[in-house]
Amino acid sequence: MSESLRVNRDSSEVAVIGGGLVGLAVALGIQQQGQQVTVYDEGDIAFRASRGNFGLVWVQGKGDNMPAYARLSRRSSHLWGEMAQQLEQHTGIDIQLQQRGGVFVCLTETELEQRIQMLNGMAANHPEGYPFEVLDRQQLKELMPDIGPTIPGATWGPEDGHVNPLYLLRALVQRFEALGGKLVNAGPITKIKPENGQFVLQSASGRYSCNKLVLAAGLGNKALAPMVGMDAHVFPNRGQVLIAERVKHFLDYPTGHVRQTAEGTVQCGDSKEDVGFDSGTSTDVLAQIANRAITMYPLLKDVRLIRSWGALRIMTPDGNPIYQQSEQYPGAYLVTCHSGVTLAAAHAGPIADWIATGQADPELELEKFDGRRFEL
Ligand SMILES: Cc1cc2nc3c(=O)[nH]c(=O)nc-3n(C[C@H](O)[C@H](O)[C@H](O)COP(=O)(O)OP(=O)(O)OC[C@H]3O[C@@H](n4cnc5c(N)ncnc54)[C@H](O)[C@@H]3O)c2cc1C
92 falls within a domain: no
229, 325 Cβ separation under 8 angstroms:
no
Domain-located, residue 277: yes
22 Cβ closer than 6 Å to some ligand 1 atom: yes
Residue 303 lies in a domain: yes
Same structural domain for residues 129 and 180? no
Query: Candidates 74, 76, 234, 314: which one to mutate for ligand 1, based on the most atoms within 8 Å of Cβ?
Result: 314
Among 265, 295, 315, identify where a domain stops: 315
Burial 195-221 (b: 16+ CB within 10 A, else e): eeebbbbbbeeebbbbebbbbbbbbbb
> Would you state the pLDDT for residue 8?
55
CA of 10 from ligand 1 middle (Å) equals 26
Give yes or no: residues 179 and 206 share one domain.
yes
155 CA → ligand 1 middle, Å: 27
For 274, residues 6+ apart whose C-beta sits below 8 A from its C-beta are: 237, 238
The reply to whether ligand 1 has any atom less than 6 angstroms from the CB of 267 is no
Distances (CA, A) of 185 to 7, 43, 182: 18, 6, 10
Q: Domain with 206 in it: what CATH number?
A: 3.50.50.60
**Predicted local confidence at residue 4, as pLDDT:** 43
Cα-based distances in Å from 119 to 60, 108, 113, 262, 338: 8, 17, 10, 29, 20
Q: Which atom of ligand 1 is nearest to the CA of 220?
A: 38
Residues 295, 334: one domain?
A: no
Ligand 1 centroid – CA 281 distance (Å)? 18
CATH number for the domain spanning 307: value is 3.30.9.10
Instruction: List, run by run, the mean pLDDT of 10-residue segments along the chain (376 residues).
Output: 50 96 98 97 87 96 97 98 98 98 98 98 95 98 98 98 97 98 94 95 94 98 98 97 97 98 96 94 97 98 96 97 98 97 98 97 97 92
Question: Could you tell me if residue 94 is inside a domain?
Answer: no
- 265, 282, 315: which is the final residue of a domain? 315
218 and 171 within one domain: yes
Do residue 155 and residue 240 come from a single domain?
yes
- With the most atoms of ligand 1 within 8 angstroms of its CB, the residue from 54, 202, 203 to mutate is 54
pLDDT of residue 45: 79
In a domain, 73, yes or no: no
CB of 208 closer than 6 A to ligand 1? Answer: no
Total domain count for the chain?
2
Ligand 1 centre to CA of 346 (Å) is 16
**Domain membership flag for residue 59:** no
- Within a domain: residue 76? no
3-state secondary structure of 124: helix
Question: Do 277 and 342 fall into the same domain?
Answer: no
Domain finish residue from 276, 295, 315: 315
Same domain? For 174 and 136 the reply is no
Does the CB atom of residue 160 touch ligand 1 within 6 A? Answer: no
Atom of ligand 1 nearest to the CA of 217: 34
Per the DSSP assignment, residues forming a β-bridge with 106 are 153
The helix/strand/coil state of 280 is coil
Ligand 1, pocket-test mutation among 339, 342, 347, most atoms within 8 A of CB? 339
Residues 151 and 269 in one domain: yes
Helices of type H across 125-230: 137-143, 165-178, 221-224
Domain interval for residue 253: 102-161+235-315
End-to-end CA, the chain = 44
87 Cβ inside 6 Å of ligand 1:
no
Shared domain for 154 and 172, answered yes or no, is: no
Q: What's the pLDDT at 10?
A: 78
Q: How far is the CA of 48 from the centre of ligand 1 (A)?
A: 5
Q: Same domain, yes or no, for 359 and 250?
A: no
> Do 261 and 277 belong together in one domain?
yes
Same domain membership, residue 330 and residue 203: yes
pLDDT for position 34: 95
Amino acid at 291: N
pTM for the complete prediction?
A: 0.96
- Is residue 72 included in any domain, yes or no? no
C-alpha 1 – ligand 1 centre gap (Å)? 39
Q: Ligand 1 pocket test: which of 16, 38, 53, 173 has the largest number of ligand atoms within 8 Å of its C-beta?
A: 53
